[in-house]
Amino acid sequence: MKPAYLLLLIFVCAIIGCAQEPPSFPTNAPSQTSQYSLGKGEQQARESRGVAFATSRETRSRTIVVAAIGACAFLLVLVIALFSARDALVPAGIAAALFAPDLAMAISVRQMPEMLMQTREPATALASLSLDLWNLTQPLLYAIDVAAVCLIILTVVTILTRGDTPESTLMTVLPLLGLVAVGIAFASYASVSRILIGILDPVHPFHATSIAEVARATAIRITTAYAVSLFTTLLIPVTVVVAFVVRQKPRAAIAIVLVAMVVAGAASFFEHTRCSLLATTATTGRVP
């Protein structure tokens, strides 16, 4: 066929096609109505439900042990400092008061991956996870309360026993470094529960582009909390030993103790609020 006839044939077909009605495309989204009816039991399975609220025996025993260790460590350091080296009271007392929260945090973070690997039913996944997080957090909650009480006692004793003695920059840096380290570990640990609850929360979900990003964020926070808590576990005895060897009080000792007491009180208030939210979520199956 000659090219002229081929072009003429294409032109005629184009004229015929343009003469017909233009194609139309749908402007509304298709209906999301399911083609299959669900039974009553399956409909309930799609709804989040609460679980029976209970404190595990392991949580009770761990809480008592951690709180007792923290209180005994602080009282031991307090008695030794008052009768032998009062200048070591502030740095050694702050380090001893931080021991219980640091120990509880290290134990809780260490057990968190095993807790996350447990199988959960879809209908009670949010409530079950909240209950497990609540049980995991109880030792830390009471350890922070013990630390707050210990720091209140340390503040009163420091004000009553203050005097003109040599001051040391090293004894100022070590307790502040321990306080900052515990704060970083606590912030990393507390943010993990918000991420985990946000994954399963149907009302206010955690917005992320992929599950991989959520898993990466959780892993980074767990690793950070565990690594910093281990560092603080080594820093606390070093601070106590150096304080009794140097026997010099830190600069602005009363101000440092007051800052530590305020930080412990704020952490205690925050942790009580977080545990209350976890308990409500566990019993109702919904995030308040």
Q: Per-residue pLDDT tens for 101-113?
A: 999 998 888 888 7
- pLDDT value at 163 more than 50: yes
Higher-pLDDT residue of 67 and 196 is 67
Question: Mean pLDDT across the stretch 31-51?
Answer: 46
Residue 33 within any structural domain of the chain: no
Residue 191 lies in a domain: yes
In which band, very low, low, confident or very high, does the pLDDT at 146 lie, cut at 50, 70 and 90? very high
pLDDT digits (tens, 9 = 90+) for 217-230: 888 888 888 899 99
- State residue 37's pLDDT score: 40
Local confidence band at 14 (pLDDT 50, 70, 90 cut-offs): very low
pLDDT on residue 218: 82
pLDDT category of residue 83 using cuts at 50, 70 and 90: confident
pLDDT at position 166 over 50: yes
Residue 147 lies in a domain: yes
Does 19 reside within a domain? no
Q: What is the mean pLDDT of residues 2-28?
A: 47
Q: What is the mean pLDDT of residues 132-152?
A: 90
**Contacts (Cβ under 8 Å, ≥6 apart) of 212:** none
- Return the higher-pLDDT residue of 127 and 257: 257
φ, ψ at 183 (rounded to 5°): -65, -40
Residue 16, in any domain of the structure? no
Does residue 5 fall inside a structural domain?
no
- Domain for residue 148, yes or no? yes
d(CA 103, CA 66): 7
Residue numbers of the domain that contains 253:
54-284
- The tokens for 10 are 């294409």
What's the average model confidence in pLDDT over 31-41? 41
Reported confidence tier of residue 114, pLDDT bands at 50, 70, 90? confident
Does 177 map to a domain? Answer: yes
- Lowest mean pLDDT segment, chosen from 88-97, 125-134, 180-189, 229-238: 125-134
The predicted model gives 267-273 an average pLDDT of 90
Q: What is the pLDDT of residue 1?
A: 52
Higher-scoring residue by pLDDT: 19, 124: 124
| CB burial of residue 221 (10 Å; 0-12, 13-18, 19+) | buried
Q: Examine the pLDDT at 255 and tell me if it is beyond 80.
A: yes
Number of domains in the chain: 1
d(CA 65, CA 17): 85
